[in-house]
Amino acid sequence: MNLAEYFAKHRPQAKWTFGERVYGNYNGIPFMGTTGGEGMVNETEGSLVTVFIDLPLKHNDVWHTTYIKVKPKDLKRLPLVEDEVSIKRSKSK
């Protein structure tokens, strides 16, 4: 097995792609935003996702105005309005 095959098999796969709309809680504070990159910190901590937040939030007297880093499990995909309309139409038929 060469290195390319080894890393393709053992590399962690990203759960989120760039530009997905998400929401969640950051230390108990609700937020909405757009995903940036996802990267592995280390084997113990796992990966973190950069989320560009829509509105600033304050945690422990520190203002986060542009982005926050959260665990992938703390994010939920924000449903698109088009998806909600099509779901409502299909249920009404």
- Identify the structural domains of the chain with CATH numbers, from first to last: 3-92 (2.30.30)
Collapsing DSSP to helix, strand or coil, 1 comes out as coil
d(CA 23, CA 41): 22
Question: Is-above-0.85 flag for pTM?
Answer: no
CB 57 within 8 A of CB 71: no
Q: What does the block give as tokens for 14?
A: 């990203």
Q: What does the block give as tokens for 92?
A: 């009404």
Q: What is the pLDDT along the chain (93 residues), one digit of tens a residue?
A: 888 888 878 777 778 889 899 999 998 899 999 999 888 777 777 888 999 999 999 999 989 999 999 998 899 998 877 766 666 666 665
